[in-house]
Chains A and B, each alone.
Chain A
Amino acid sequence: MSRTNIIVLALILVIFVLGLWVLIPLEAERFGRSDLRKGLDLVGGVHLVYQADFENIEPEDQPAVMERALIIIQNRIDKYGVLEPIIQQLGDDRILVQLPGFTDIDAAKSLVEQTGYLEFREVELNGGQPATLNDYLEQTDLQFIDASEPDERIFVRTNELGENETVALLKYKDGAYYFEDPAGNTVAADSLSAYAASVSWIRARGDDGTPLTGDLLADAYLSTGQQSQIQVAIEWDDVGSIIFDQLALRLHDPAGQNGPYKLEHVLGIFLDNTLLSAPKVNSAKFEGEGVITGSFTLAEAEELANLLKSGALPMPLVQPPLFEEKVSATLGAQFIEMSWLAGLIGIILVMVFMVAYYRLPGLVSAVALVFYGVLMLALFKLIPVTLSLAGIGGFIVSIGMAVDANVLIFERLKEELRSGRTLGAAIETGFKRAWSAIWDSNVTTIIVCIILYWLGSSIVASAPVMGFALTLGIGVVVSMFTAIVVTRTLLRILIHSGMVRHLALFSISRGKQ
Chain B
Amino acid sequence: MFDIIGKRFWYFLISGAIILIGVISLAVFGLPSGIEFSSGSILTVKFVEEVGKGDLEGELTGLGYGNALVQQTQPAGSFLIRTQRLTEEEGDQLQADLNAAFGAFDGEPSSQDVSEMIASETRTNAIIAVAIAALGILLYVTWAFRRMPRPFHYGTCAIVALVHDALVVMGIFSIIGAILNWEINLMFITGILAVIGYSVNNTVVVFDRIRENLTRGISADFETIVNNSLVETLSRSVNTSLTTFIVVLALLLFVGANIQNFVIVLIIGILAGTFSSICIAPSLLVVWDNKEWGRFLFWRKPAPAKA
Decide if B251 touches A397 in the complex (CB within 8 Å). yes
| A322–B193 CB distance below 8 A | no
Assembled-state Cα–Cα distance A353/B107 (Å): 39
A109 vs B89: C-alpha distance in the bound complex, in angstroms? 13
Given the contacts A346-B250, A396-B251, A462-B122, A331 and B88 also touching, CB distance less than 8 Å? no
Q: Smallest distance from the beta carbon of A474 to chain B beta carbons, Å?
A: 15
Alpha-carbon gap, A452 to B58, bound state (A): 39
Taking a contact as CB atoms under 8 Å apart, the answer to whether A451 and B254 are in contact is: no
Q: Is A411 an interface residue (CB 8 A)?
A: yes
Whether the pair A407, B239 counts as a contact (CB closer than 8 A) is yes
B244 at interface, CB cutoff 8 A: yes
Hey, which bits of chain A sit against chain B, CB under 8 A?
41, 44, 49, 51, 103, 105-106, 109, 320-331, 334-335, 338-339, 341-343, 345-347, 349-350, 353-354, 357, 389-390, 392-393, 396-397, 399-401, 403-404, 407-408, 411, 415, 436-437, 440-445, 447-448, 451-452, 454-456, 458-462, 464-465, 468-469, 472
B contact residues around A448 at 8 Å (CB)? 133, 136-137, 193-194, 196-197
Contact between A407 and B236, CB atoms less than 8 A apart: yes
Show 26 A/B contacts (Cβ-Cβ < 8 Å), sorted by A: A326-B109, A330-B107, A330-B108, A334-B75, A335-B255, A335-B257, A341-B254, A342-B253, A346-B246, A349-B246, A390-B259, A396-B251, A400-B243, A401-B198, A401-B244, A403-B240, A411-B236, A443-B144, A447-B137, A447-B197, A448-B133, A451-B193, A455-B129, A455-B190, A461-B186, A468-B190
A31 to B15, CA, bound (A): 53
Give the number of residue pairs across the A-B interface with Cβ within 8 Å.
Answer: 235
In the assembled complex, B232 has its CB within 8 A of some CB on chain A: yes
Residue B65 interfacial (CB < 8 Å)? no
Known: A346-B247, A415-B232, A468-B194. 14 other contacts (CB 8 A): A353-B239, A390-B187, A400-B244, A411-B233, A411-B236, A437-B208, A441-B205, A445-B201, A448-B133, A448-B137, A455-B125, A455-B186, A456-B186, A459-B126
Most A CB atoms within 10 A — which of B44, B198, B240?
Answer: B240
Pick from B115, B194, B251: contact of A472, CB below 8 A. Answer: B194
Most interface-central of B140, B247, B254 (chain A CB within 10 A): B247
Contact A322 B117 (CB under 8 A): yes
Complex contact A451–B132 (CB within 8 A): yes
Docked pose: A321 CA to B41 CA in angstroms = 12
Question: Which chain B positions have C-beta within 8 A of A335?
Answer: 255, 257
**Chain A residues, CB < 8 A from B255:** 335, 338-339, 342, 389, 392-393
- Contacting A at CB under 8 A, from B253-307, are 253-255, 257-259, 262-263, 266
Return chain B residues, CB-CB under 8 Å to A339. Answer: 251, 254-255
Are A452 and B239 in contact, CB atoms less than 8 angstroms apart? no
Separation of A292 and B253 alpha carbons in the complex (Å): 61
| Contact present for A345 and B254 (CB under 8 Å) | yes
* Whole-angstrom CA separation of A309 from B111 in the bound complex: 32
Minimum Cβ distance to chain A for residue B79 (Å)? 12
**Out of A322, A342, A346, A447, which one reaches B118, CB within 8 Å?**
A322
B243: which of A403, A411, A461, A464 is its contact (CB, 8 Å)?
A: A403
The residue from A331, A443, A459 contacting B125, defined by CB atoms under 8 A apart: A459
Partner of A400, one of B75, B140, B196, B248: B248
Q: Hey, which chain B residues are within 8 Å of A397, CB to CB?
A: 194, 244, 247-248, 251, 266
Contact of A322 among B115, B205, B243 (CB under 8 A): B115
Query: Closest approach, in angstroms, between the C-beta of B107 and any C-beta of chain A?
Result: 4
Query: Which chain B residues lie closer than 8 Å to A445 at the CB level?
Result: 194, 197-198, 201
- A452 and B129 form a contact (CB under 8 A): yes
Alpha-carbon gap, A469 to B204, bound state (A)? 22
A323 B114 Cβ-Cβ under 8 A: yes
Q: How many angstroms from the CA of A105 to the CA of B201 in the assembled complex?
A: 45
Residue of B nearest to A392 (CB): B255
Q: Which residues of B contact A440 (CB under 8 A)?
A: 144, 201, 204-205, 208
A451 in complex: contacting residue of B78, B129, B187, CB < 8 Å: B129
Q: Which residues of A contact B251 (CB under 8 A)?
A: 339, 342, 346, 393, 396-397
Provide the residues of chain A in CB contact with B88, threshold 8 Å: 106, 109, 320
User: Which B residues between 144 and 201 are near A, CB-CB below 8 angstroms?
Assistant: 144, 186-187, 189-190, 193-194, 196-198, 200-201
Partner of B239, one of A330, A346, A357: A357
Known: A106-B88, A462-B186, A468-B190. A353 touches B246 (CB 8 A): yes
- Whether A444 and B110, one on each chain, are in contact in the complex, defined by CB atoms closer than 8 angstroms, is no
Which residues of A are found within 8 Å of B248, using beta-carbon distances?
A: 396-397, 400
> Chain B nearest CB: distance from A216 CB in Å?
34
Contacts of A326 in B (CB 8 A): 108-112
B244 close to A447 (CB less than 8 A): no
| Contact of B239 with A455 in the complex, beta carbons under 8 Å | no
CA distance A342 to B239 in the complex (A): 20
| Bound Cα distance A415, B266 (Å) | 31
B108, B140, B246: the one within 8 Å of A447 (CB): B140
One of B186, B198, B205 near A408 (C-beta < 8 A): B205
User: Which residues of B from 60 to 78 have beta carbons under 8 Å from A?
Assistant: 74-75, 78
- What residues of chain A lie closer than 8 Å to B128, measured between beta carbons? 455
A346 to B243, CA, bound (A): 9
